[in-house]
A and B are shown apart, each in its own frame.
Chain A
Amino acid sequence: MQKLTLFFATILCYTVVTSQNVPNPYSSIGKPTPKMVTLSNGAYDEFLLKEPIVLINGDAIKRETGELVYSQEENPKEIEKLKKQQEEKFRFLSVDPVFKSFPFLTPYQYASNSPIVNIDFDGMEGFNAAGGGYVTSPASNCNGCVPITQAEYQHYQRLYEADKLKGKGNDWKKLPYILIYKPSGFTDYGSGTYYSAPNKPKLQVSLATQFKGGSYTEILNEETLDKQINDFVDQLKSYEEIPTIEITTFTGKSGSKSKTGSTEEVYKQGSNIYNPDGTVNKKGTIGELMEKRGETMKKKLIDKGIPEDKIILKKGTHENDDKNRKATIEAKLES
């Protein structure tokens, strides 16, 4: 019995504390303090890490070789710095929160174990840091469009969704551009692409198609279009004054990688228009299709109570678009 009570005493003294006193290892990415086992409630440094450079007798020593890097007398400033940096950067204090979705990966890994290719903004999934998306507005005359990576896109997307869920917060409104993302593997702009820039006087709405199985398929059926328009009108409510809305009918290809030719050619290309149940509705060119789509969109917006003079319907200027693309690609190659 004596031993038993002692055992329980030792167990109880290890308390799991989530307190403000415990230093938050995730503070830099804005996550709350995780549950951590601590005895002194964060008052003392309980996590002694094996830094590559150790302080011994005031000398900075390489852990691997035991050699002197610099001593206090020679380099007091460096020693001071080292004393402050008693923190190891790549160390996991908890398992990956999304480890259940990735049974093939260890629960202690960073960005799918590919730290050079991938980047992880928020400690969830890793995303390709370079490839995948490039980025521009679907509008041909996009001034100040900023290229973003897949990872950045995911990050902003999450910010946007999180703020929307909370029903407050305006972080996503800070985005300086229309967020369009082209997922890798797709040669065309994806659907669901109209996140608008609230700090711009003019909203831009794209009508996008998705490349599917070698042919252009109208995937924005009436239902999804209605839903998206509702979302869009909801966004407009956060404006003091209804801004000008520019609807650009657009379709495009990524220049050099194009299989089917320039955007001009694509514009003229024929396509089936599918009903939601999969039956073919009508044949026509992509251009016609998009222009029609633009008109329906304009009508629907007017139905929602948006004054007609605020809506501008624009045809996609494919030639300019192609030129712009070439220019940017050349500029990139040069740099």
Chain B
Amino acid sequence: MKQKNLKKLSNIILLFSLIILGNGFAPAQNNNVLDSIYVKQTQQNFDNAYNEIVAMLDNKQPLSFKRAVFLVENAYLNDSLNYGLYVEVINLYKKLVLAYNKSNKLLNYNFADSTNENINASIFKVFTDTLKDENNKIISLPFRYNFEDALGSKDYESTFVNYLLFTKKGNCHSLPYLYKILTEEFNTKSYLALAPMHIYIKQRNKNIGWYNVELTSGQYPKDAYLISTGYISHDNIISGLYMDTLSLKQSIAMCLMDLCQAYAKKLNQNASLNFQLQCTDKALQIKPNYLDALLRKQRLHKTLWLSYQKQNNTEFANSNKTTYNEINNKLIQLDYRDVPLETFQKWYTSYQQNKSKFQNHEINTNFKSNK
């Protein structure tokens, strides 16, 4: 790619980011003004998103992870995002990846899936490295981990792909999502995979087989590293709770749970339990051992059980209690347990340290330039 084009690209990205920040990320609605119209409108937005995602899952509409992610974020942001703009910015990144890939090829990788691997490695490079042109001018900066608000507890929007696209700051939710979207665009293969309180990417190539892509720290960690530091037991892996690849459909089912979580954040944890149960049930239908859905369903049935108990409706209370117990049993079968706070803090601080320690040196991401 020529220097001029790349310059244009970066300018356009900057411009779009300003536009989006001006429109979409207006200060969130204050919860004190939860009048019925606002609730109704929000419910409508979420219902629309739900219907479209479910249509995808029911094969009535083509599967698109890109679209599903957008729907969730748009619903949370009061239908204020522009899909055209979103697609365009993704296309810009696509062009950036293609441009990089055109002039840089992987060294010593001559297997049959070379194109796939080259594209994926280029995406990784765009995500994690500063790109420069021939004159050493910076074209693109890497995505950064959002240390200020990693869990989106201050600002839920900071976990969004849209936020990542325009601020270059993301977390373990938005970064792998965007990666997945880009590989979906290029039709190359990558899979989302789960770990406790974490999402990462799994890929496979003909040289070394399966390997992991960790975008938060820009590494290719080994499985053993993930297991030992990630609070994962062997039963978790056997049961498929963690470290399993997710199909496209399952990834979209994940978006459905994101929608459910966004809904609870937007309105209230106890707002329309029916809608939340709908989301969880549909997600569980696609992926029966999907942790987020199981945990939310457990919480919802507990709420129902306790509220019916207060109303002295023993029959309903008991039926909800048995469901609650059943889900607990299922989670125990999957060998789930809450991550202790200490472990989580350790993860958080260790991102910066130990950078090269557990890196998978088998993966070759050294590029040779055409020049």
Contacts and interface: CB of A to CB of B under 8 A. Distances in A.
A281 interface: no
A27 interface: no
A58 B341 CA distance: 11
Contact of B337 (A10, A38, A56): A56
Contacts of B348: none
B233 to A, nearest CB: 4
A9 B361 CA distance: 10
B222 A13 contact: yes
Contacts of B229: 39-40, 43-44
Contact of B362 (A9, A51, A57): A9
Given A58-B338, A63-B332, A83-B340, A43 B298 contact: no
A59 interface: yes
By size class, the interface of chain A is: 20 to 34
B325 A2 contact: no
Contacts of A86: 340
Nearest to A51: B337
A39 to B, nearest CB: 4
B338 A56 contact: yes
Interface in B316-332: 324-329, 331-332
B151 to A, nearest CB: 16
Interface in B228-249: 228-229, 231-233
Contact of B328 (A38, A45, A61): A61
A43 B332 contact: no
A66 B328 contact: yes
Contacts of A233: none
A63 B233 CA distance: 16
A46 interface: yes
Contact of A83 (B227, B328, B336, B341): B341
A124 B229 CA distance: 33
B233 A44 contact: no
Interface string A28-64: 0000000000111001111010110011111101010
A56 B325 contact: no
Contacts of A83: 340-341
Contacts of A65: 325, 329
Contacts of A46: 227-228
Contact of A55 (B298, B302, B338, B362): B338
A66 B231 contact: no
A9 B341 CA distance: 32
A43 B346 contact: yes
B208 interface: yes
| Residue of B225, B325, B337 with most partner-chain A CB within 10 A | B337
* Secondary structure of the A contact surface, majority rule: loop
B326 A57 contact: no
A78 B362 CA distance: 47
Contacts of A59: 302, 328
A40 B228 contact: yes
A43 B227 CA distance: 13
A39 B337 contact: no
A201 B324 CA distance: 69
B338 A48 contact: no
A66 B325 contact: yes
B115 to A, nearest CB: 21
A68 interface: yes
Contacts of A122: none
Contacts of A2: 207-208
B224 interface: yes
A44 B228 contact: yes
Interface string A176-211: 000000000000000000000000000000000000
Given A2-B207, A6-B362, A39 B329 contact: no
Contacts of B335: 48, 50
Contacts of A44: 228-229, 231, 343, 346
Contacts of B327: 66
A92 interface: no
A67 interface: yes
A102 interface: no
Contact of A66 (B228, B302, B332, B337): B332
B107 to A, nearest CB: 16
B254 to A, nearest CB: 18
Given A38-B228, A48-B231, A57 B338 contact: yes
Nearest to A86: B340
Interface string A216-248: 000000000000000000000000000000000
Contacts of B228: 38-40, 44, 46
B271 interface: no
B8 interface: no
Interface string A73-114: 000000000010010000000000000000000000000000
A15 B325 CA distance: 41
A68 B233 CA distance: 23
Nearest to A71: B302
A51 B350 CA distance: 27
Nearest to B338: A55
25 contacts: A2-B207, A2-B208, A6-B208, A6-B362, A9-B362, A39-B227, A39-B228, A39-B229, A43-B350, A44-B228, A48-B232, A48-B233, A48-B335, A50-B335, A51-B337, A56-B295, A56-B298, A56-B337, A56-B338, A66-B326, A67-B325, A67-B328, A71-B302, A83-B341, A86-B340
Given A39-B228, A57-B338, 4 more contacts: A2-B207, A40-B228, A43-B350, A66-B325
A-B pairs with lowest CB-CB distance, top 5: A39-B228, A66-B328, A66-B329, A48-B233, A55-B338
